[in-house]
C-alpha cells in the first residue's frame, strides 16, 4: 500500500524521509521495508532511481570493483554478465531491486530537495521539494558524494562552437563518428571513455593534469554454467564476495605505505605501464609523480593501447582556454575540436545538498561543514537531530567497494532507530564532544596514508582544513567494527513521544 501525498498545505507525514535514490537511498529503503517499517519516502530529484548509475551512461562505463562485491549483500545477483559489469546492467539491477522489493510506491521522482528544516517544536524534519512537501521524524541524506558534476570553468567555454558536456551528462544525440574529440581529465571516467570512443573518432585529445596509476583489469564474462551455479548454490556468491573482500583489504597496507606492500603495488603498476607503452615520450608523460593511491588507482588494460593509436594525442597539460573551436592547453598547445567531454569528476568534498539542510540552531549543514565535512560514526551531525548522512564524510574507499561502507551505515541507522523505539526516545543527536573525538580518531587513522601524505593534490582532502574528509582511511572491516551498530555513548537521547 503506497503513501498518498497530500497537497502543499498538508505535507505528507512519514516516519523516515530518505533523500536520494542511488545505492545508499535504495539500500536504506529496502532494509527499512524488510524490517517491517513502511512509513518512509524516498525523494529523488532525478527522473529515475539509480543515482550514479542512472547518470553515468558514457561509452565504456562500468564498475571497477568486481560486480559480485559491488552489489548489495542482501540482494546477490547470480546473473552478472562480467567480473566488471557495464553501467547499464548495474542500473538495471538497481531498478529491479526497487521493483522487486516493492519500494517504488514509496519513491517520489522529480522531487528535488530545496530545503530540509528541523522543526524543534514538532520534532520533525520538513523537506520541501520541487514536487511536494514532506515531513518525517528522521531524515536520511543519501544524496551521494559523486552526484553533482564538477564542470570546471574554463575561460572561453561559452565561445565553444562544438558540443560540450560532462561525462555524467553524456549527450547521446551527439555522434562522435569522424569527429575531433577532446576528453578533459584522465581519471576513472576518462580512462573508460577513451578506449571506448577511440575507434569511432577522427582525432582524440586527452588533456591530462596528472598521470594516473593504472593496473591491469582482470575482466571476463561469466559463463552460463557459472551463472547457473551462482543461482543454484547461492552460498558460492557469498564465498566469492568474502574472497574478493578480504583480498582487497590487503591493499590497505599499501595505502598506509607499509613495505613491502607499498613498493610491490607500485612495481606492479609500473610493469603494466612498461609492458604496454615502449620507452619514450609517451611513457614519460604517463609516469605518475606521486604515490600510488593518493588519487584513485585505476584499472584498465586498454587505456594505454588506446593512447598509442596514431589519431590519439595525450596532452600532458590541463585544458586552459577555449576559443571558438580551438582548445588550448596550459602548455600552450592548440587543438581544433568538434566535441569536448569534461571527465572532470564531482563535487565530493563540498556536497551541494548541505546548503539546503538546516539544523536546530538555524545553521545550514554547509555552514556547519565550513571547514570540511565531519560526522560522528561518519553518519550523525551535532545540531542535526534525527538526521543521518549516508556515503558522506569519511566513507569513501580507494581499495574496496563503497557499498560495504554504505551497508554498514544503513545497519547503523536501523539500529539507532530501533534503539530509539525501544527506549521511547524522541530525538537522537550526536554530541559535539563525541563528534570531535571521532574527527580526531579519523585524523589519527589518516596519518601516514597516501591520501594525506602521498605527494598529490586529490579531492579527498578538504582544501579549507587540510583534513581528509572524503576517505575512510583504514581497513573497511575497521569501519564496520567501529560503526556497524548504534552505541548510545556520544549521543544525546531525549525522550519524546514516538509517533506512528
Partner 1 sequence: MIVDLRRPRMLSVGSFEVGIVDSGEDHEDQAPILLLPGTGGSTKRHYGFVHPMLSLRRRVVGVDFGPAPSPDGAMSLDDLRDQALAVAEDVLPGRRFLICGYSLGAEVAALVAAERPDLVEGLVLVGGWLRSDAHQRLRNSVWRTLRREDSAALRDYMTFCAFSSAYLAARAPEELERLPERFVLGDLIDQHMRLTPTIDLTEVVEKVVAPTLVVGCSLDQMVPPRATKQLFGAIADARYAEVASGHAIHTERPAEMLRLVEQFASEPTGTPAGSILRGITA
Ligand X SMILES: Cc1cc2nc3c(=O)[nH]c(=O)nc-3n(C[C@H](O)[C@H](O)[C@H](O)COP(=O)(O)OP(=O)(O)OC[C@H]3O[C@@H](n4cnc5c(N)ncnc54)[C@H](O)[C@@H]3O)c2cc1C
275 is a site residue for partner 1 (CB under 8 A): no
Using CA of residue 211, residue 453, residue 143, residue 75, what is the dihedral sign? positive
Of 85 and 449, which has the nearer Cβ to ligand X?
Answer: 85
List, as one string, the DSSP characters of 69-99: TSS-TTS--TT-SBSS-BHHHHHHHHHHHHH
Nearer to ligand X, 25 or 382 (CB): 25
SS3 state of residue 262 = helix
Residue 488 DSSP code: S
Q: Which of 23, 475, 486, 491 binds partner 1 (CB under 8 A)?
A: 475
Task: Select from 251, 329, 378, 401 the one that contacts ligand X (CB under 6 A).
Answer: 401
* Residue 250 within binding range of partner 1, rule CB under 8 A: yes
How many angstroms separate the Cα of 5 from the Cα of each of 8, 122, 134? 9, 20, 8
Count of Cβ atoms closer than 10 Å to residue 105 Cβ: 12
Q: What is the x/- site pattern for ligand X, positions 265-304, by CB under 6 A?
A: ----------------------------------------
Looking at residue 352, the DSSP 8-state letter turns out to be G
Tell me how far apart the alpha carbons of residues 440 and 394 are, in angstroms, rounded to a whole number. 12
Consecutive H or E run containing 283:
helix 281-285
43 binds ligand X (CB under 6 A): yes
Options 44-52, 207-215, 249-257, 379-387: segment touching ligand X (CB under 6 A): 44-52
- Per-position x/- string for 318-357, each x denoting binding to ligand X as judged by CB under 6 A, each - no binding: -----------------------------------x--x-
Q: Which residues contact 429 (CB under 8 A, 6 or more apart)?
A: 380, 382, 383, 384, 385, 386, 491, 492, 493, 494
Segment contacting partner 1 (CB under 8 A): 81-89, 147-155, 163-171, 253-261?
Answer: 253-261
What's the rounded Cα separation, in Å, for the pair 447 and 453?
A: 8
Q: What does 480 bind: partner 1, ligand X, none (CB cut-off 5 to 8 Å by kind)?
A: partner 1
Min separation Cβ 424 and ligand X, Å: 32
Residues 63-102 interacting with partner 1 (rule: CB under 8 A)? 69, 73
- Report CA Rg, the chain: 23
Binding site for partner 1 (CB under 8 A): 69, 73, 238-239, 241-246, 249-250, 252-253, 256-259, 261, 404, 447-448, 453, 475, 477, 480-481
Binding site for ligand X (CB under 6 A): 19-25, 43-46, 51-52, 56, 61, 63-65, 70, 112-113, 142-144, 146-147, 189, 353, 356, 391, 401-402
Amino acid at each position: 500500500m503506497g503513501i498518498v501525498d497530500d497537497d502543499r498545505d498538508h505535507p505528507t507525514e512519514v516516519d523516515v524521509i530518505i533523500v536520494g535514490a542511488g545505492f545508499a537511498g535504495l539500500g536504506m529503503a529496502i532494509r527499512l521495508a524488510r524490517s517491517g517499517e513502511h512509513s518512509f519516502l524516498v525523494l529523488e530529484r532525478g527522473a529515475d532511481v539509480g543515482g550514479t548509475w542512472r547518470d553515468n551512461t558514457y561509452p565504456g562505463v562500468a564498475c571497477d570493483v568486481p560486480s559480485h562485491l559491488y552489489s548489495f549483500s542482501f540482494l546477490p545477483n547470480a546473473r552478472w554478465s562480467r567480473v566488471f559489469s557495464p553501467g547499464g546492467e548495474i542500473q538495471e539491477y538497481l531498478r529491479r531491486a526497487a521493483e522487486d522489493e516493492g519500494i517504488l510506491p514509496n519513491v517520489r521522482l522529480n522531487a528535488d530537495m530545496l530545503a530540509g528544516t528541523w522543526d524543534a517544536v514538532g520534532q520533525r524534519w520538513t523537506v520541501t521539494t520541487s514536487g511536494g512537501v514532506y515531513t518525517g521524524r528522521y531524515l536520511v541524506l543519501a544524496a551521494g558524494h559523486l552526484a553533482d558534476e564538477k564542470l570546471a570553468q574554463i575561460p572561453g567555454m561559452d565561445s565553444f562552437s562544438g558540443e560540450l558536456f560532462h561525462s555524467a551528462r553524456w549527450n547521446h544525440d551527439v555522434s562522435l563518428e569522424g569527429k575531433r574529440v577532446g576528453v578533459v581529465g584522465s581519471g576513472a571516467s576518462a580512462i573508460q571513455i577513451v578506449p571506448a570512443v577511440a575507434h569511432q573518432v577522427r582525432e582524440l585529445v586527452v588533456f591530462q593534469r596528472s598521470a594516473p596509476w593504472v593496473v591491469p583489469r582482470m575482466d571476463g564474462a561469466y559463463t552460463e554454467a557459472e551463472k547457473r551455479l551462482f543461482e543454484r548454490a547461492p552460498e558460492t556468491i557469498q564465498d566469492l564476495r568474502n574472497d574478493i573482500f578480504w583480498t582487497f583489504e590487503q591493499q590497505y597496507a599499501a595505502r598506509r605505505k607499509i613495505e613491502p606492500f607499498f613498493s610491490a603495488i607500485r612495481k606492479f603498476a609500473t610493469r603494466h605501464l612498461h609492458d604496454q607503452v615502449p620507452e619514450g615520450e609517451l611513457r614519460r608523460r604517463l609516469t605518475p609523480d606521486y604515490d600510488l593511491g593518493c588519487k584513485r588507482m585505476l584499472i584498465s588494460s586498454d587505456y594505454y593501447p588506446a593512447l598509442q593509436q596514431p589519431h590519439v594525442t595525450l596532452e600532458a597539460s590541463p585544458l586552459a582556454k577555449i576559443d571558438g573551436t580551438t582548445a588550448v592547453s596550459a602548455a600552450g598547445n592548440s587543438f581544433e575540436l568538434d566535441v569536448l567531454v569534461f571527465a572532470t569528476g564531482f563535487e565530493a568534498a563540498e556536497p551541494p545538498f548541505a546548503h539546503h539542510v538546516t539544523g536546530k540552531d538555524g545553521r545550514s549543514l554547509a555552514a556547519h561543514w565550513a571547514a570540511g565535512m565531519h560526522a560522528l560514526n561518519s553518519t550523525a551531525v551535532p545540531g542535526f537531530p534525527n538526521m543521518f548522512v549516508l556515503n558522506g564524510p569519511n566513507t569513501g574507499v580507494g581499495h574496496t567497494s563503497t557499498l560495504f561502507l554504505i551497508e554498514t551505515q544503513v545497519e547503523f541507522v536501523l539500529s539507532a532507530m530501533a534503539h530509539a523505539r525501544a527506549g521511547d526516545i524522541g530525538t537522537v543527536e550526536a554530541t559535539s564532544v563525541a563528534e570531535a573525538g571521532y574527527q580526531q580518531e579519523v585524523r589519527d587513522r589518516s596519518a601516514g596514508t597516501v591520501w594525506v601524505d602521498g605527494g598529490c593534490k586529490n579531492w579527498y582532502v578538504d582544501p579549507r582544513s587540510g583534513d581528509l574528509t572524503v576517505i575512510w582511511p583504514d581497513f573497511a572491516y575497521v569501519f564496520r567494527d567501529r560503526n556497524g551498530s548504534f552505541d548510545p555513548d556520544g549521543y544525546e537521547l531525549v525522550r519524546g513521544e514516538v509517533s506512528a
